[in-house]
Amino acid sequence: MARLTLERVSFWYPAMGRPALRDVSLAAAPGEVIALVGNVGAGASTLLLVAADLAPRVVGGKIEGRVNFRGRGKGEGGRGIVLPTPWTQLSGMAFTVWDEVAFGPANLGWPRERIAGAVDRSLAALDIGTLAARDPATLSGGELQRVVVAGIVAMEPALLLLDEPTAELDPEGAGLVWRLVRALAGDGCSIVVATSDLDALPEVADRVVWMEDGVVRRIGAPALLAEESVCEAGLATTVADVWRTARLGAPYPLTVAQAERRWRQ
Amino acid sequence: MAAVNAELRFEHVSFSYGTVPALRDVSFSLAPGERAALLGRNGAGKSTVLRLVTGLVHPAEGTVSVGDWDTRGRAPESLARRVGSVFQHADQQLFARSLRDDVAFGPRALGLAAAEIARRVDTALAALELTAHAAEHPYDLPPAFRKLAALAGALALEPAVLVLDEPTAGLDRPLRARVARALADSAAAGVVVLVATHDLAFAAEVLERSLVLDRGRVAWDAPLAALLTSSERLAPLGLAPPAGAALSAALDLPGRPVRERDVAHALARVAAARGPV
């Protein structure tokens, strides 16, 4: 049974004539990592807001179609979203990073020991244990992004929605987030992530959804990111794009490793 | 484009946030027209360097100067005559009713004549291909376009020094290419361009020098290409080669190009020489 299902969903922001999503259908199974790729304005962020039940409930606007979410039952395992604007997601109630990450779990009414365990695990997973006593207001942009991801992950969501979660992270931080995504999927969490880090996706995503103008153009394996039409849209991996520019012929390799194998043949 | 050309100079600069040290004894200088990447791990001090350049904070020790101006004696609005900046989350900082008004804010604050303001705004909007959106409300546009508008606002100051913090975060390839062209044009006109970024692929396309900060100190100051072609140099600095440079190294392409189009050209040349792949 899919954890998240969108059936023929269209969505209009308030006072906008054109829909931001048009007739979008998508299902995310437990343990699945789905990557949304598209150019600016394609609708990936909007799809995440709809999946998080923030649009139209919080942002307003109008929706058609059906959105269905099933948690793990008994109030366990909700859905969590990491917005592309990490500083807007701070509680404003915490003077330390530890308390900030504990804010979500505490609001779930968990017992104290469970909260502490979840916070410590989450801080460790993002390698920010050393920031635990820092005031969130003093963090750099990238540190803040890790703290916000940690706060959402600490709530042990059944559905994790991520909007450009690595945009401000250094390569080590980005690697941590992508490994965490795979680990959470291994524990049965469904993950939908909008990202422009296309080169990471062959190792991270089970499926890739190519969006354009609010419409799902294609859904497929990460190999989609080396197809001609995707290259034309500017959404191929760097290696596929370089191979194509060099006119070395399709199918284009997706990753450096694939290119190396082709080259050595 | 720059009204004046000026060098950006850090001399033995240290800075702390309360008890948390951010920069220690940082020295470097950038000549007019130089394009530099400011790299390093999250928390290494990159944003602090940019804040010092704009005069939002002043050094605890040492000197930051833009040409013959010491930043210490100057507030940000005074430094804005020489320094244009775009900070992280610039897309949240627009406030005017149209993109054009937002871009005009800086030149207006400089007290320029109406015709000069109009000229600068038109030029800046055109440089980022935003002319068609000039009359739109900033918040009717996607955040990525607001980010470009913030950059247009900085360009419209016609500064001697342009500092940008993660200018490509949230931008797709076509928009990144616009930013790349605008920065290259600025540098060609003598503007000092300093970009704090984790996007090494973007850096490789546009920037030439690399300054890497490690725990508040300058750990590397040399041509960017020399850094990107060496995994041994990148790894200890918390950096990883972008895919183009990694491909170049993995296939041992001659000259180890790092810009994507150069990698493609080298690949095509070698492939042609050795027959079909």
Domain ranges of chain B: 8-241
Token couple for B21:
């040290």
The CB density around residue B3, as the number of other CB atoms within 10 Å, is: 13
Q: What part of B 208-237 touches A (C-beta under 8 Å)? A: none
A256 closest CB neighbour out of B165, B243, B268: B243
| pLDDT at A74 exceeding the cut of 60 | no
B92 closest CB neighbour out of A85, A143, A171: A85
**For residue A12, what are the CA distances in angstroms to A8, A18, A104, A217, B91?**
14, 7, 30, 19, 22
B-chain CB neighbours of A141 within 8 Å are 42, 47, 88-89, 165-166
3-state DSSP of A10-21: EEECCCCCCCCE
8 Å CB contact of A170 and B246: no
Which residues on neighbouring strands pair with residue A211, listed in sequence order?
A: A216
Q: What is the pLDDT of residue A73?
A: 64
Average per-residue pLDDT in chain B?
Answer: 92
For the four alpha carbons of B138, B140, B145 and B146, in that order, the dihedral sign comes to positive
Binned at pLDDT 50, 70 and 90, residue B61 comes out as very high
B-chain CB neighbours of A84 within 8 Å are 143, 170
B264 closest CB neighbour out of A164, A167, A245: A245
Nearest to B2 by CA among B226, B272, B156, B191: B191
Contact criterion met (CB below 8 Å) for A213 and A188: no
Q: Where are the alpha helices (DSSP H) in chain B?
A: 46-54, 76-79, 99-109, 114-127, 143-155, 173-188, 200-206, 224-228, 231-234, 243-250, 260-274
The tens digit of pLDDT for each residue in B206-227 reads 999 999 999 999 999 999 999 9
B-chain CB neighbours of A241 within 8 Å are 260
B-chain CB neighbours of A238 within 8 Å are 201, 242-244, 247, 260
Q: Where is mean pLDDT largest: A14-23, A73-82, A165-174, B155-164? A: B155-164
**For residue A239, what are the CA distances in angstroms to A252, B172, B272?**
8, 17, 18
**Angle (nearest 5°) at CA A200 between A199 and A203:** 120
B170 closest CB neighbour out of A167, A169, A171: A167
Binned at pLDDT 50, 70 and 90, residue A247 comes out as very high
8 Å CB contact of A246 and B89: no
Q: What count of CB pairs under 8 Å joins A to B?
A: 126
Token couple for A184:
């959470």
| pLDDT at A208 exceeding the cut of 90 | yes
A140 closest CB neighbour out of B47, B175, B242: B47
Q: What is the pLDDT of residue A88?
A: 84
The CB density around residue A14, as the number of other CB atoms within 10 Å, is: 9
A-chain CB neighbours of B92 within 8 Å are 85
Comparison of pLDDT for A94 and B89, the residue scoring more: A94
8 Å CB contact of A85 and B17: no
A40 closest CB neighbour out of B175, B261, B263: B175
The tens digit of pLDDT for each residue in A218-227 reads 999 999 999 9
For the four alpha carbons of A45, A50, A52 and A54, in that order, the dihedral sign comes to positive
For chain A, say whether B77 makes contact (Cβ under 8 Å).
no
Q: What is the pLDDT of residue B167?
A: 93
Spatial separation of the C-alpha atoms in residues B11 and B226, rounded to whole Å: 25
| CATH T-level assignment (fold) for domain B8-241 | Rossmann fold (3.40.50)
**Strand B61-66, strand A79-82: pairing:** unpaired
A246 closest CB neighbour out of B198, B242, B268: B268
Mean pLDDT, rounded, for B171-196: 95
Q: What is the pLDDT of residue B187?
A: 97
The tens digit of pLDDT for each residue in B26-47 reads 999 999 999 999 999 988 999 9
Helix (H, G, I), strand (E, B) or coil at A109: coil
Average per-residue pLDDT in chain A?
Answer: 94
The tens digit of pLDDT for each residue in A140-186 reads 888 999 999 999 999 999 999 999 999 888 888 999 999 999 999 99
Mean pLDDT, rounded, for B167-196: 95
3-state DSSP of A150-195: HHHHCCCCCEEEEECCCCCCCHHHHHHHHHHHHHHHHCCCEEEEEC
For chain A, say whether B274 makes contact (Cβ under 8 Å).
no
| pLDDT at B276 exceeding the cut of 70 | no
8 Å CB contact of A141 and B47: yes
B-chain CB neighbours of A140 within 8 Å are 42-43, 46-47
Q: What is the pLDDT of residue A55?
A: 94
Contact criterion met (CB below 8 Å) for A63 and A56: yes
Mean pLDDT, rounded, for B72-89: 90
The side-by-side arrangement of strands in the sheet containing B161-165 is: B83-86, B161-165, B192-196, B35-39, B209-214, B217-223
Half-sphere exposure of B234 (CA within 13 A, CB side): 20
Q: What is the pLDDT of residue B95?
A: 78
Residues 6+ apart with CB under 8 A from B125: B99, B100, B103, B131, B134, B152
Residues 6+ apart with CB under 8 A from A211: A36, A37, A38, A42, A43, A44, A47, A217
B-chain CB neighbours of A37 within 8 Å are none
| pLDDT at A257 exceeding the cut of 90 | yes
Domain ranges of chain A: 1-77+157-220, 79-156, 225-265
DSSP letters spanning B198-259: S-HHHHHHH--EEEEEETTEEEEEEEHHHHHT-HHHHGGGT----HHHHHHHHTT-TT---S
| pLDDT at B204 exceeding the cut of 60 | yes
Q: What is the pLDDT of residue A75?
A: 54
Reported residue count of chain A is 265
Q: What is the pLDDT of residue A66?
A: 97
Nearest to B167 by CA among B31, B2, B54, B50: B50
Cα distance from N-terminal residue to C-terminal residue, chain B = 46
Helix (H, G, I), strand (E, B) or coil at A238: helix
| pLDDT at A49 exceeding the cut of 60 | yes
CATH of domain A1-77+157-220: 3.40.50.300
For chain A, say whether B273 makes contact (Cβ under 8 Å).
no
The side-by-side arrangement of strands in the sheet containing A4-12 is: A21-28, A4-12, A62-69
- Cα of A217 vs its chain's centroid, Å: 19
Nearest CA in chain A to B168: A167
A114-149 per-residue burial string, b: 16 or more CB within 10 A, e: under 16: ebeebbbebbebbebeebbebebeebbbbbbbbbbb
**Strand B209-214, strand B217-223: pairing:** antiparallel
Q: Phi, psi (5° rounding) for residue B138? A: -55, -35
Nearest CA in chain A to B248: A256
